[in-house]
Chain A
Amino acid sequence: MKIAFTAKGTGWDSPIDPRLGRTEYILLYDEDKDELSVTDNREIEGVAHGAGPKTAQLLFDINPDVLITGNGPGDNAAVVLKQIPMKIYVGAGELTVKTALEAYKNNELKEF
């Protein structure tokens, strides 16, 4: 299974970025390979409008099974994300990537 995180850094101890559209990084944990890979999304800072759909497009391309984030997508991003079978879990805004994964495994996060 592939699990994606919106994050403010590139490692397991990085805080989750509660924002979906303007998240700085997207981390992808490939459970089968036990590998964490990084997609740099910092150029989103330069986007004046439409950050949500743009990052949603990126997630669409990465195509993970699960996304763990803070606030969840806004209306426009949600329209894009509905097109892929990815499940979204929210409420991890104050956790680190590592603790968010644990919280997800323990069913402590809410499905969007």
Chain B
Amino acid sequence: MKEIVVISGKGGTGKTSITASFAMLGGKDIVVADCDVDAADMHLLMKPNVKTEEDFYSGNAAVIDRAKCLNCGKCASVCRFDAINLIEYLYSVSALNCEGCGYCARVCPVKVISMVEQNVGKLYISATKADNMMVHARLLSGADNSGKLVARVKKEAKQIAQETGKGFVIVDGSPGIGCPVISSLSGADFVVLVTEPTVSGLHDLKRVYELVNRFQISAGCIINKADINQDVVNHIEIYLRENNIVHLTDLPYDESFTSAMTIGQTIVEYDHDKLADLLTVSWNKIKQILSKEQQ
């Protein structure tokens, strides 16, 4: 079983649209993992039918035992996040502001502050319209994605893939270069970098590739909207060559991306012409690279 992670660094490059297309093309032979949990939207395209759901706990928040609290205010004085304030003459924790560092619990003279694990959302395992299983999550308001949640989503997806003998896990990676992205990348066999020919597209591609390279995972790149700025495309191509990144394909700027999205379809369902062909060729190329690596 091979794990393919799609990331972009920059938002709005078409990462999820492309991942969902691969999820359609892979069909029965894959398991989908949506690790872009902060702004999970893969479910809009994959129409998952939820089979199991469970509450997910991550991170801590301070809770003061009101009955034993001396109301001395020491906790509030050390809190760096202004999460403890006097409300009606009593020190209280705002769970939304609390970062869970535990400093208050450490300094409390009567040890009545405990750190309580937070329910941050739900984890789902669903069947999609592409005849495959998908692991995804939904966060509650104010909750944030974490390496822990990403690791859990991936673990479930891999387990399903192993138990049911699937060839691939395809991961919609988290944005940026922080903890959730590192968790998205770790253990991956191949990374698909989706970029666009803009200054920030190239900048963020470089930034996220540094991470991929650090983990020594082989990578391929799709330049989306490749006809909007030839100059930056040239720069991207040089960068890909210098770093041994496979140039998978160029996709033209096409409003089908948006039109498909608004009716809840993937590109390969909506467009039966050029875009679908290019994406199919890319998907086959990725499979080919992975089967070669295995030999």
Name A's B-contacting residues (CB within 8 A): 17-22, 45-52, 70-72, 74-75, 90-91, 93, 110
Contacts and interface: CB of A to CB of B under 8 A. Distances in A.
Contact of A51 (B58, B147, B187, B211): B147
A75 B147 contact: no
Given A48-B58, A49-B179, A52-B182, A22 B151 contact: yes
A64 B277 CA distance: 51
Interface of B: 58-59, 100, 146-149, 151-152, 179, 182-183, 185-187, 211, 214-217
Given A48-B59, A50-B179, A71-B186, A22 B217 contact: no
17 contacts: A19-B186, A19-B187, A21-B182, A48-B58, A48-B147, A51-B147, A51-B148, A51-B151, A51-B179, A70-B186, A70-B187, A71-B185, A71-B187, A72-B215, A72-B216, A74-B211, A93-B187
Contacts, number: 58
Contacts of B152: 45
The 5 closest A-B pairs by CB, nearest first: A48-B146, A71-B215, A19-B186, A18-B187, A48-B59
Contact of B217 (A20, A21, A71): A71
B148 A48 contact: yes
A9 to B, nearest CB: 14
Contacts of B211: 74
A46 B147 CA distance: 10
Contacts of A70: 186-187
Contacts of B148: 45-49, 51
Contact of B147 (A17, A18, A22): A22
Nearest to A52: B182
A22 B59 CA distance: 16
A22 B216 contact: no
B216 A91 contact: yes
B290 to A, nearest CB: 12
Contacts of A21: 147, 182, 186
Given A46-B148, A51-B147, 14 more contacts: A17-B187, A18-B186, A48-B59, A48-B100, A49-B59, A51-B148, A70-B186, A70-B187, A71-B216, A72-B215, A74-B182, A74-B211, A90-B216, A91-B216
Given A18-B187, A45-B148, A72 B182 contact: no
